Amino acid sequence: MKRLDRLILRSFIGPLALTFTLAVLVLLMQFVWKYVDDLVGKGLEFSVIAELLMYASATFVPMALPIAVLFASIMTMGNFGEKYELVAMKAGGVSVRRVMMPMALVALLLTGMAFYFANNVMPTAMLKYRMTLYDITRKKPAVNIRPGEYYKELDGYVIRVGNKGKDGRTLEDIIIYDHSRGSGEMNVIVARSGIMQATPDNRFLQFTLRDGYSYTESTTGENYQRRPFTTIGFRQQTISFDISSFAYNKTTEDIFKGSYQMMNINQLDTAILKLDSSLAKRQEQCRTELTSALHAWPRMSEAADSAAAATTDTFTALLDSMPAADRQRALTYARNAAQTASSQAKMYADMIESDREYINRHHIEWHRKFTLSVACLLLFLVGAPFGSIVRKGGLGLPLVASVAFFVLYYVVGMISEKAVRESALGPEGMWISSLVMLPIGIVLTLQATTDSSFFDSSSWGKFFRRLVGKK
């Protein structure tokens, strides 16, 4: 490898790694902000949170790689141009195309790595991520009974304590509202003091109450009018609350394995074939049932049988020749049959539309594995020549330009994805964003390699001054 290649690669790989890390962190912070309410206050171990963040970070890699390649290419070529290193290379007989070649090989390598990651690592990471997030969101907040507040997280109970000892276990002035027996049984337990502790297996929370009373009023069945009221005093009483739902329990992978986001290319192909076959069967079932519903005709009279086989021109005449009762029955039945067929047709239309959207989501995921990978190479073709043209390094202009180009790519991709999902476009519509960026990259590359003055502000200034002078 030549010294020039090593210089170019060192200048490119540094910003690439830094930008990739920052992009993943920004996307991760967005994720944390979105699910902060599900993570805080549940007493989760650090290992669980770290596991969730690791899996979430892995799912952001296909999106972060194109951003990193775009920013690093603009920044590298911009620094070369700003420091006149690019001019020196050209003076030494090295063309812009030759300067871009080492970075292009890295972008091509990243394209292959991105596809391998999206097809092999991403499904597993997405599966683990969804499982962990589901378990965390399902877990209830940690038991935290505060003095002077009504605690309602225990199903069927409301608890209030007046004071709480420094050890977190000793309680005073305890009131427990028991609604676990249903609306017909109202039970209130009042105690002067008590001790709160969890069982060794953390499945139950035990309250050992001292010096209290239990007040019960029944309004069920025969007691609805009488409403008997019972008061029972006690020196010590133990109450257990089920807190198994407050524990962090891991679910099995079978719940999420069938999702299209957890499949590779081969699995998506198999799933699409099965779904297409199911859709064809549903459409055939729809045609069969609607045909049988529309052709059903009760045997009411010979005239009605003749009318059923008659053409439109003779149908009215035959219907008029029927007795009034038979004619009324035939019209009523026809109206009901038409309404039933219309309802069935709408129902099947909604079902078929839902099936098609689900199939389209599989197609979208299949093409996304390729489009996000190819984006690394396409955005490099945009970023590298753009940086050599503007000749501005640092963080300012490269950051603004990379954000602008990626927003264009992302917005076009989201619009086309929505159109594919709603069957307005075929699955090939996922490539529209790539087709938009490809001509931009080709034009910028041609402008950079031919030293065109199309993007030179001074040449445009001279052009407009000449234009004004002619006028």
Q: Checking DSSP bridges between strand 185-198 and strand 204-218, what pairing results, if any?
A: antiparallel
Name which of 176, 206, 203 is nearest 191 in CA terms. 176
Q: CA 117 to CA 68: how far, in whole Å?
A: 16
Q: Are 139 and 151 contacting, i.e. CB atoms less than 8 angstroms apart?
A: no
pLDDT tens track, the chain, 471 positions:
578 888 888 889 988 999 899 989 988 988 888 877 777 766 677 888 888 889 889 889 988 999 999 999 998 888 888 888 888 888 888 888 888 888 999 999 999 999 999 999 988 888 888 888 877 776 655 567 888 888 887 777 888 888 888 877 888 898 988 877 766 567 888 998 988 887 777 778 888 898 888 888 766 656 555 666 778 888 888 888 877 666 656 666 666 777 888 888 999 999 999 998 888 888 888 888 777 766 655 444 444 445 444 455 565 666 667 677 777 777 787 777 778 778 878 888 888 888 889 999 999 999 999 998 999 999 999 988 888 888 777 778 888 888 889 899 999 999 999 999 988 888 999 999 999 999 998 888 888 877 655 555 555 566 566 666 654
- Tell me phi and psi for residue 316, to 5 degrees: -65, -40
Query: What distance, in Å, lies between the first and last C-alpha atoms of the chain?
Result: 57
- Chain centroid offset of residue 4 CA: 44
So where are the chain's domains?
3-139+367-470, 150-246
Q: CA 344 to CA 306: how far, in whole Å?
A: 27
Phi-psi category of residue 132: left, alpha or beta, with phi > 0 → left and psi -120 to 50 → alpha: alpha
Q: CA 325 to CA 269: how far, in whole Å?
A: 59
**Residues near 253 by beta carbon (within 8 Å), at least 6 away in sequence:** 127, 131
Report the alpha-carbon angle 228-234-238, nearest 5. 105
* pLDDT (0 to 100) of residue 308: 47
Identity at 13, one-letter amino acid code: I
* pLDDT (0 to 100) of residue 220: 61
In order, the DSSP letters of 233-245 are EEEEEEEEEE-GG
